[in-house]
Structures are given as C-alpha cells and as structure tokens.
Amino acid sequence: MWWRTCSARKFAPSIIWKRCGRRISATKPPPRRWTIKAVSIAIVAVGRLKSGSERTLIDTYIKRIPWPIAEIEIEERRPLTGRERTAREGDLLLQAIPEGALVVALDSAGRTLTSNAFAKKLEAWRASGRVLAFVIGGAEGLSPPVLARADETLSLSAMTWPHALARVLLAEQLYRAHAILSGHPYHK
C-alpha cells in the first residue's frame, strides 16, 4: 500500500500530492523576521481571510502557479483609531517581511502597469534571486515607514479596492503573468 511507504499525507487526494500556497497566520506579533525557505513570492497582508469566495479564488489562482508562494497574514487592529491602527499594522508588516526580500508595496498612489509590463517586471524580480514580497495594507492603507521600505510601489487600479479583493486581484495578476511568460493562452 502506497500510504505506508510514502511520506505523503494519508488524506491527500492523490498519490502525487503538491503543497503550494501555504498560509502563515500571525495573530500575535510575529518574530523579529519570518524565515521562509524555498519561497520565491510572499504575499504579506493585513487581515485574515475566512473561508468564502475570496479565499476560494485566491486558492484557485495560487494552485495554478508553479512558483512557491506563501501568504503571511497580519492581525487587523480594529479597536485602534486610524493613525494608530496604520502605525501598528505598519510595524507588524515590517516585522513580517522576509529578510533580504525585494518589497513591492501595493498602494493606490503607486504606479500602474499593464499585464504584459507586470509580467516582464515579475520575470526580472524573480531573476534577481531574492524573495519577492508583495505588501497589502489594511483599511487605512500602508504606513509611511512601509512605503519607505518598499523597493517598488504599484497600484492594481486607479480605483480603491477592499484589501481582501486586492489579494484576489494580485493572485490573478500573478497567474496571468505566469501565463504570459509561459505562452499559455489564458491571457489572450
């Protein structure tokens, strides 16, 4: 029996079990630095997505991407006021960014790119050999220290989106970039 000799989990849906898109949740302040091994992309975001349509969409897109991706979720600080919340979430985001990562902040004031331009940028970022960390803020946006830490600031759209939907849009754009780079017809 394969499950007695195989290291795969017994509840795996098939013999070939693929672990991709692992989630890392942070309800307490994270350790000084997250150490993520063999992850080329990290999505660092404020708030925890519960099971629902957004979670399903993100999981669907992440499973389609062959690159290792980790989601790091930071606790949302609702009882605090606007500036205090942004500052506290900013501190947690800075602590959660993997050490030595190339940081891309997603902010409404950032630069917009076409899907083809984003795919080319992503290819160059991945070729650098560094972990690529996309940072998504909470309801009040990103704090100035997080924006200062970012190597690049991008906007997903000129419109404002809830941070849960921003994660879905990012996951879709990552998959679309993979499709463009590999010549898959999804983008057409």
- Predicted model pTM: 0.76
Domain presence at residue 10: no
To 5 degrees, how large is the angle CA 186–CA 135–CA 19?
A: 55
Asked if the structure places residue 164 within a domain, the reply is yes
Q: Examine residue 159 and state whether it is found in any structural domain, yes or no.
A: yes
Q: What is the pLDDT of residues 55-85, one digit of tens each?
A: 999 999 999 999 899 999 998 877 788 788 8
Q: What is the CATH number of the domain that holds 164?
A: 3.40.1280.10
- For the cut 70, the answer to whether the pLDDT of residue 21 exceeds it is no
Outline where DSSP puts E strands in the chain.
Answer: 22-26, 41-46, 69-74, 102-111, 132-136, 152-154
Residue pointed to by tokens 């708030």: 47
Is 11 inside any structural domain?
no
**Is there a domain that residue 24 lies in?**
no
How many domains are there within the chain?
1
150 part of a folded domain: yes
Tokens matching residue 41: 């992309």
Q: Is 63 part of a structural domain of the chain? A: yes
Q: Is residue 9 included in any domain, yes or no?
A: no
Predicted confidence (pLDDT) per residue in 152-161, tens digit? 999 998 888 8
Q: Please state, in angstroms and rounded to a whole number, the distance separating the CA atoms of residues 109 and 123.
A: 23
What is the average pLDDT value for the chain, to the nearest integer?
Answer: 81
Range of the domain at 62: 35-182
- Show the CA angle centred on residue 48, arms to residues 180 and 124, nearest 5°: 25
